[in-house]
Structure 1
Amino acid sequence: MFIEPSINGAQRGWIEVICGSMFSGKTEELIRRLRRAKIANLRIEIYKPAIDNRYHQTDVVSHDANSISSTIIENSQTILLYASHVDVVGIDEAQFFDPEIVSVCEKLAARGIRVIVAGLDMDYKGRPFGPMPALLAIADYITKLHAICVRCGNIASYSYRKTAQGGQVLLGETDVYEPRCRKCYYEEV
């Protein structure tokens, strides 16, 4: 957990980005940080994009079934309306949000809010995904998590898609994706 000191009693905001491949524990880490903030009696709000309904319609749920109640968002600007009286904002699956999520995070941090964002840094083709590169550029803290390659057991940074169907966005789990290291990923693409 990252704690930034206040200056002259004023709360200072900042942006934390948690990134990595699928199955690396991004959502689990987001939930952990938010729960710790709640234990510290901080007011928290969690948001997720409407497109992500894999595990639950409204809750943010990790692959290992940890969950936390959240608010579904269609448009990132809506977060600014909802997050008026909070200390910490959590945002899951940031790669699915519109490009305005970057300015939303900056505005929240300028208000003195701690912003914790989790998302895939690369899509299944190994390319930067959605607004994540811009979020990484403005982040005060970055945590890159790794999964374990299902082929060789090394650290995995890539989300290999096992099917040819779909565009850049295809929601799925282990039926559609598997984590792979660089070597095993590029052996089949």
Structure 2
Amino acid sequence: MLFNEEVFKRRSELGGSIEVICGSMFSGKTEELIRRLRRAQIARLNVEIFKPKTDTRYHETEVVSHNHVSIPSTPVDSSSAILLLGGHVQVVGIDEAQFFDDELPYVCSTLANKGVRVIIAGLDMDFQGRPFGPMPALMAIAESVTKVHAVCVKCGNEALYSYRLVPSEAKILLGEMESYEPRCRHCFGLE
């Protein structure tokens, strides 16, 4: 455990960071989040992963990608719970950040200021192509932002939009391929 204490002290001295992984549905955001968190685990860092309690699509207590890659997580009701539960670790992972409240940027900044590496994944735009939840604020305060793209199912170009297939005006509608498909700018605007 001496190694972990030394690493934590060094990271605390250097300061934490915020990394954002964003893009449309089916772009690989969660897989990239899991990849980075597994690397942190391999480095023997203390890692804690959080997801919104409302996201039970694949599993109640695991973060799961569309390709069924998974990692254990702690479901929480609000971003303030992340601050309470994640303050003692070296790396915090947050999936589906767009579903959290507007306090998430404050929580992530507080953790980073304490020397924690915070890695966040989420949709940058909703089904109408508008900025989604706290994601714009998170991207603004992040040291790094990685935008990943899906493939447009209509033309094969890079997709940056999540097109909703079912009739609903609800801002949040949990779903998969039956409810959404990735589309490029041109094909998104056609319908």
How many pairs align? 183
| Aligned-residue RMSD, C-alpha | 1.4
Distance 2:31 2:12 in 1: 31
Q: CA deviation at 1:11?
A: 3.9
Alignment partner, residue 174 of structure 2: 171
Runs of 4+ aligned structure 1 residues displaced above 4 Å come to 6-9
Deviations 1:58-116 (A, max 9, x none): 10000000000000010100111111221100000000000000100000000000000
Find 2:26's aligned residue among 17, 23, 26.
23
Distance 1:152 1:84 in 2: 45
Alignment partner, residue 112 of structure 1: 115
Deviations 1:136-188 (A, max 9, x none): 11010000000000011000000000011250100000000000000000000
- State the TM-score, normalized to the length of structure 1: 0.94
Alignment partner, residue 159 of structure 2: 156
Alignment partner, residue 56 of structure 1: 59
Equivalent pair of 2:12/2:114 in contact (CA under 8 Å)? no
Find 1:142's aligned residue among 136, 142, 145.
145
For 1:34-53, list aligned pairs within 5 A.
34-53=37-56
- State the TM-score, normalized to the length of structure 2: 0.93
Gaps of 5+ in 2: 1-8
Gaps of 5+ in 1: 1-5
Alignment partner, residue 36 of structure 2: 33
Opposite residue 78 of structure 1, the aligned amino acid is A
- Helix, strand or coil at the partner of 2:83: helix
Q: CA deviation at 1:8?
A: 9.8
